[in-house]
A = this chain, B = another copy of it.
Amino acid sequence: MMGTNNDTANNTRVANQKSAANPVALLVPDMPPMEEIVPFLVEIDSNKWYSNFGPLCLAFEKQLKTHFFSELPPDSKRMVSCSNGTAAIELALIALNLPAGARVLLPAFTFPATATAVVRVGLTPVFADVDEKSWQLTPDIARHLLASSRADVILPVAALGMPHHALAWQKFSRETGIPVVIDAAAALGAQDTAPGITVCYSLHATKSFGVGEGGVIVAADDSMGERIRQMANFGFSAGVIVHAGGNYKLSEYHAAVGLAQFKRLPLLQKRRELLRKGYQEYSDALLPHFDFQSLPDNYWGEAPVVPLRDSRFYGAAAICLKRNAAIDVETLVHHLADRGIQTRRWYCPSLQYHPAFSQVETFGLQGDHFMAVTEFLQTHVVGIPYHSALRRHDIRHVISSVLASVENKCISIDAV
């Protein structure tokens, strides 16, 4: 299970999944079984078309529009499928046609692919600290930084699947003239779109709605959507390359998995609703020890920063130790691992600690370069199991183990 996550897979820090009576995995993809994919493979056999926006891909895009982007008019060209969530960000940035080295402002508290995408398309990443409440780069923070510095694109992240106010970013972009691309990798179903801004989603297996590897972009407007579609296919337009793109196409096989996934959408929704409610029962018990002000109310019982578009599509559960907590995050991770509970230090280390980004300019909220909130979050946030295969007793086990750890009622097996 540990290797199934796009974001981390034996790469970022992962709690050891120790032997335990009842091991609880952090993430278990909820994907269509073979039998449900077969009818679409039969279609592929008949079409003999395997990539390049084939019939299954176009049918899948239609379903995406119907179920996740019904705000788009039928003839809209803003939505484009692609090969993965990182590809979605790269395509969006390429389609902005910026000069090489243009500055892209993004939060330091995110998965590294947000920054690798910027580097890979030849632009310059600039890191911002995030809001204490939402754990995100907000329009207010961007405005604050723009008073003393320059950015050519703003690339906010729907951190851990928590959505942004699309309309607030739309307003920001209209007022400043700066393009906004939201990395909503983990927020399909949760993050709204808005005309004038671009939103990128991942369809990786570990996301709430997965197809294996896949991505989808809703561009700022039709013309950008058309450019993105060209860039996904090398940059071809009427037989010639007008601007260099790449091969970012969603294959017919992945579209087949996606179409099978849509057939079981009601099942996914039901399971995720149970999951959400299962955790919600315990929010009162956790609140004395953890900060959840950043998490949406329909999940954790607190006032949301931004409401989820659909409360069922919340991607990950992360808890943040309070400043005065009796234990540190490594101890918590260790205690939970002793109880067979897999965790992950999401977005740890934060971007400024990756060797590849050590020279990147940083902006704190106090006018200096120290990103205080990011520093705090990367040493206090931990992801706990959140996926539709969890049963009620699993959730109870997770919560009681978390509480026992933080209330110092447990002793690490290693320490005995």
Contact = CB atoms under 8 A, between A and B. Distances in A.
A263 to B, nearest CB: 16
A51 B116 contact: no
Interface string A25-63: 000110101100110011011001111111000000000
B356 A212 contact: no
Nearest to A40: B34
B205 A50 contact: yes
B3 A29 contact: no
A241 B50 contact: no
Contact of A210 (B50, B85, B247): B50
A260 to B, nearest CB: 11
Interface string A285-326: 000000000000000000000000000000000000000000
Contacts of A3: 49, 52-54
B212 A247 contact: no
A94 to B, nearest CB: 8
Contact of A240 (B42, B52, B353): B353
A239 B48 contact: no
Given A29-B48, A48-B29, A50-B212, A354 B251 contact: no
Contacts of A119: 244
A138 interface: no
A120 to B, nearest CB: 5
Interface string A89-125: 0100000000010000000000011011101111000
A51 B205 contact: yes
B90 A246 contact: yes
B257 A253 contact: yes
Nearest to A257: B253
A329 to B, nearest CB: 15
B31 A50 contact: yes
B34 A45 contact: yes
Interface string A50-87: 11111000000000000000000000000000011111
Interface string A194-221: 0000000000111000101100000000
A385 interface: no
Number of copies: 2
Q: Is the interface of A mostly helix, strand, loop or mixed?
A: loop
B50 A235 contact: no
A323 B210 CA distance: 55
Nearest to A247: B86
Given A212-B253, A213-B251, A242 B356 contact: yes
A176 interface: no
Contacts of A113: 234, 246-247
A115 B244 contact: yes
Given A6-B247, A241-B116, A349-B240, A204 B51 contact: yes
B355 A84 contact: no
A-B pairs, 9 with minimum CB distance: A50-B205, A11-B236, A119-B244, A34-B41, A9-B52, A86-B247, A241-B354, A116-B244, A241-B356
Interface of A: 1, 3-6, 9-13, 28-29, 31, 33-34, 37-38, 41-42, 44-45, 48-54, 83-87, 90, 100, 112-113, 115-117, 119-122, 204-206, 210, 212-213, 233-236, 238-247, 249, 251-254, 257, 349, 353-357
